[in-house]
Amino acid sequence: MHISSVVFNQLLEMFFIMMFGYVLVKLKFLNMEGTQQLANIVTKFIIPIVLMMSFQQDYDSSQLYILFTSFIGALSIILSRIILAHTLLRNRTKIDRYAIVFSNTAYMGIPIVLTLLGYEGIFYLSMYIVTSAIFQFTYGKWMLSEGKEIITLRSILTNPASLGSFVGFGLYISRLPLPTVLYNSLDSIAGLSSPLGMILLGGYLARSKIKDIFLVRSNYWTVSIRLIIAPTIGIFLLWLLPITNPSVLLVLSIANATPTAINTALFSQLYGGDYEYGARIIILASFLAIVTIPLMLSFASAILL
């Protein structure tokens, strides 16, 4: 229950930061161009730095196997969601399916994991973020563009999350710690990931009609799959897999419970789709996640930990 209370408090803090973003847009201090610039900065620079920093720890060969188990767990969860999206939402839009598969792990998972486990937790979480990023920049783009964006090896290896992890892993294997001044500077930059992500989410809320978010019944079917059905399946998958490290199980449980990815709106705008509908799903899922994430983590703790 301690974990759930910590997570709930963290989510409330993130909610108030989101409201700050809402006010900035309503007062016209932050426009659409500024929002897009912030999104690019977070996605292309800050999140890769966070992932790179997660590898800044003493080398331990036994951790490589634990890292591999984290990758297997992440891959299993994401593949199960692809199957789920094409089964339960085969008659819904491509945005609904994207919203089910991809979660807001970078913006919401990172601050929760940092609070509970520090950079050790991010070390394991990096496997989920990188695996999800690879699927977003390949399968996700292909799905939203309806086959116009082709999956290539370059898109797998050169997306920002992969690059940040490759650099961090290279430093980890070569046992090269960053100089203290550089470490502290990058650590400060990494701390911007969650606040900026929540400001972006608040901007989406400010540009949406409240009734279109909360009073449209069909929105709740997609969000209930995203926040309840998919995480429940994910927990049972983790129970079936040979993962015994409690930190890995906790990290994957947090990633499993996070709401819809912000890229649902960003990629919809870039590759064809109803960008505003994607934003409404993100906002509804993010609001309800304040309740569902602690509940799902309590359930995961009872089953896994």
DSSP character at residue 179: P
Tokens of 274: 């109803």
Closest by Cα among 103, 93, 108 to 146: 93
Q: What is the pLDDT of residue 72?
A: 95
| Residues contacting 256, CB < 8 A, separation 6+ | 77, 103, 230, 231, 234, 235, 238, 296, 300
Instruction: State the average pLDDT over residues 280-291.
Output: 89
Name which CATH class applies to 2-304: mainly alpha
pLDDT category, 253, cuts 50, 70, 90? very high
Of residues 26 and 147, which shows the higher confidence score? 26
Contact at 8 Å (CB) between 199 and 38? yes
Give CA–CA dist 8/169, Å, rounded. Answer: 32
pTM for the complete prediction? Answer: 0.85
Predicted confidence (pLDDT) per residue in 39-51, tens digit? 788 878 888 898 8
Predicted confidence (pLDDT) per residue in 176-232, tens digit? 888 999 999 998 998 888 788 888 888 888 888 888 888 888 899 999 999 999 999
Q: Where are the beta strands (DSSP E) in the chain?
A: none
Contact at 8 Å (CB) between 230 and 295? no
Of residues 119 and 270, which shows the higher confidence score? 119
Tell me the longest C-alpha to C-alpha distance in the chain: 54
251 pLDDT more than 80? yes
Lowest-confidence segment of 54-58, 211-215, 301-305 by average pLDDT: 54-58
Place of tokens 């409330």: 12
Closest by Cα among 193, 215, 186, 279 to 17: 193
Q: What is the pLDDT of residue 1?
A: 47
Q: What is the pLDDT of residue 51?
A: 81
C-alpha neighbours within 13 Å on the C-beta side of residue 60 = 11
Closest by Cα among 30, 104, 136, 120 to 256: 104
236 pLDDT more than 80? yes
Of residues 186 and 123, which shows the higher confidence score? 186
Q: What is the pLDDT of residue 272?
A: 66
Predicted confidence (pLDDT) per residue in 128-180, tens digit? 988 888 888 788 888 888 777 777 778 778 888 788 888 988 998 888 888 99
Angle among Cα 250, 5, 214 to the nearest 5 degrees reads 95
